[in-house]
Amino acid sequence: MQNPEGLVFHLQRFSLQDGPGLRTTVFLKGCPLACAWCHNPESQSAAPELLTLEQRCMHCGSCVETTDADSVEGCPTGARQRVGRSMTASELVTEVLRDRIFFEQSGGGVTFSGGEPLLQATFVSGVAAALQANGIHTALDTCGFAPTEALLQVASHMDLVLYDLKLMDEARHREMTGESNGLILTNLQALAAQHPRIWLRVPIIPGINDDAANLAATAQFAVQTPGIQRVDLLPYHATGVAKFGRLGLHYRLEAVPPPSVEQLDAIAQDFRAQGLNVTIGGRP
């Protein structure tokens, strides 16, 4: 397919935490995991969705007995929103190239996130290849749960791979994300054997994965994996709570607080003691 189509749910411009420089982050629909702390639950379904912003709804009834499209277009307050739109590769390339001047001035580029971009491997590969041909830096933000061939295919068009590593224990990983981490760990090793620039991203979630055993195992795995240039410790935040509500979903971690600055600094020191290059929050 010369001009594949993909399902995009958001373009975030001027992003500072998804790779070097100023970036445009392309959020794609669909994810094979269901992380309890997900801050983009609207990305999990691989199909377009409707969500309702209750604080905007004035219960006028204009959306009753209308089609999904009409309920969005006809909502006078914008309370009904459609999540997910189809775009061809050429359309997305044209859209993000509007930001070229910001990429060139800051050393930035385009990051593919989600959701899980590897679920749309052909689309992402086509867009990334076109961007590289235009001299644009590309980055992939992935959970790593995908066929190895898809990961390596997409990564071959990426200047940087941001790779999530959430939990080292298989049973705990399955409990908190819905899937085993076996393929994720295997894929990271396969990627590291072929790609020279990987940033490992580790969410720090109090009571979930911040125990000494998990952190030590994570650091050890990172040390033993070539290609990992740095480790980003990403502090948990609860910004996904409201989104779960809009989608009619239950949020499991409402009582979990964000990690303290002191805790993050201590974790970073432990990782650095293993010889790892570490940032907190994904910024230098």
Q: What would the two tokens of residue 80 be? A: 């009904």
Q: What is the structure's pLDDT at 78?
A: 62
Question: Residue 55: phi, psi to the nearest 5?
Answer: -70, -20
Query: CA-CA distance, 192 to 183, in Å (whole number)?
Result: 14
State residue 197's pLDDT score.
97
pLDDT of 86 strictly over 80:
yes
Task: State which amino acid sits at residue 72.
Answer: V
pLDDT band at 60 (very low <50, low <70, confident <90, very high): confident
- pLDDT of amino acid 26: 98
> pLDDT > 90: what percent of the chain?
76
60 or 155, which is more confident: 155
On whether the CB atoms of residues 44 and 114 are closer than 8 A, the answer is: no
Beta strands in the chain (DSSP E): 5-15, 23-28, 49-52, 80-83, 85-88, 109-113, 137-142, 160-164, 198-204, 228-235, 278-280
Domains within the chain, CATH numbers bracketed: 5-48+84-280 (3.20.20.70), 50-83 (no CATH)
Q: CB atoms < 10 A from the CB of 48, how many?
A: 14
59 contacts 146 by C-beta, under 8 angstroms: no
Q: Give the tens place of pLDDT for each residue, 167-208.
A: 999 999 999 999 999 999 999 999 999 999 999 999 999 999
Taking only the tens place, the pLDDT of each residue in 111-162 is: 999 999 999 999 999 999 999 999 999 999 999 999 999 999 999 999 999 9
Q: Which of 27-41, 75-89, 183-197, 216-230 has the lowest mean pLDDT?
A: 75-89
Q: For 209-235, what is the mean pLDDT?
A: 97
